[in-house]
Amino acid sequence: MELTTVWFCLIAVLWIGYFALEGFDFGVGMLLPVLGREERERRVLINTIGPVWDGNEVWVLVAGGATFAAFPEWYATLFSGFYLPLLLILVALIVRGVAFEYRAKRDDPTWRARWDLAIFWGSLLPAVLWGVAFGNIVRGVPIDADLEYVGGFFNLLNPYALLGGLTTLTLFLTHGAMYVALKTDGPIRREARALATRLGLVAALVAVLFLVWTQVDTGSVASGVLFVLAALALLAGVAAAGAAREGWAFLGTFVTIALAVAGLFAALFPDVMPTSLADGTSLTTTNAAATAYTLKIMTGVAVVFTPIVLVYQGWTYWVFRKRLSVHHIPEAVLAGERPAGGR
């Protein structure tokens, strides 16, 4: 297999990791005003993702860096063409991270309510915009013969891409509800499980429409198989949630997102960013790639450091594996006194 194909697959894996992991903490952030009706419940929800959300974001940083190094033409065209949505995502992620750190700094309901709002919008905007961005990447955008994006911002807001945004939004909401049901106990757990079942059915309807549209437009045999498996995994996850099997339910949405993203990359290959212009030129794994020497160096680095990162992240999830309930939130936290090692 050529190194350009290897790195296309590795970048796909990085995006799978990002959406499958950060997807549930986006979902928890969006469900904060729904499942967290009083401060103790909101603290429980935030504590479920407190030890892992920043580690989950590392995946998108590595995916961006790998794209820059392995496919510089793809990176340049993508970031110049999608400048505004990517800027909005970046700002939302920064505000969300600041909100996690600052909401417990003062014992003031208004202060906390404002940071909770920042967590909600900082989770919702990326959840929608990532779907819009990937919808446009798969569908194709105006790229001329010089490999330059020649469209505007509103070219990105087409029906197919907006359906992609709605798909990631509903999938991440379902994934977040599954995660809350898995990580909590008591009334929050029961409410999250019931909500996950309802959200899962909506997500299944929206996702099937988006994936069928993708398959009809640009799909291959491989993408078709992956999309069917993704739909089955989502239905299995919803059924498991209905049967109060939270672990299997969360695994179902995790696998759904992984297979759906894999299917999008399979539908895209060998292009990395197709053109929608008759006289334009699509970016492919060949004409967008870095030199063979660069790819060889990157492959060596990835072989050494990827297992280390995976082991460290797995260890983090293992350490913080226990369920949480409102009984685990001490009065000191509600009074604005930050506990040692906590957010």
Helix (H) or strand (E) holding 17: helix 3-30
CB 281 within 8 A of CB 147: yes
CB 290 within 8 A of CB 67: no
Assigned token pair, 217: 């437009």
Tokens 């820059």 -> residue: 68
CB 67 within 8 A of CB 11: yes
Helix (H) or strand (E) holding 171: helix 159-183
Q: Looking at residue 296, what is its pLDDT? A: 92
- Give the three-class secondary structure for 124: helix
- Whole-number Å distance between alpha carbons of 72 and 65: 10
CB 231 within 8 A of CB 207: yes
CB 59 within 8 A of CB 22: yes
Per-residue pLDDT tens over the stretch 220-249: 999 999 999 999 999 999 999 989 999 999
How confident is the prediction for the chain on average, in pLDDT?
Answer: 91
* DSSP 8-state secondary structure symbol assigned to residue 106: S
CB 27 within 8 A of CB 183: no
pLDDT along the chain (343 residues), means of 10: 91 95 95 90 92 90 92 92 92 94 86 94 96 93 89 88 96 96 92 94 95 92 95 94 93 96 94 89 91 92 89 90 80 56 46
Assigned token pair, 250: 């969360």
- Whole-number Å distance between alpha carbons of 103 and 213: 42
Residue type, 235: L
* DSSP 8-state secondary structure symbol assigned to residue 286: T
Q: Looking at residue 8, what is its pLDDT? A: 95
Q: Looking at residue 68, what is its pLDDT? A: 93
Assigned token pair, 79: 């970031």
Q: Looking at residue 335, what is its pLDDT? A: 61
- Taking alpha carbons only, the member of 136, 74, 134, 140 closest to residue 276 is 140
CB 328 within 8 A of CB 35: no
Q: Looking at residue 331, what is its pLDDT? A: 66
Per-residue pLDDT tens over the stretch 190-220: 999 999 999 999 999 999 999 999 999 988 9
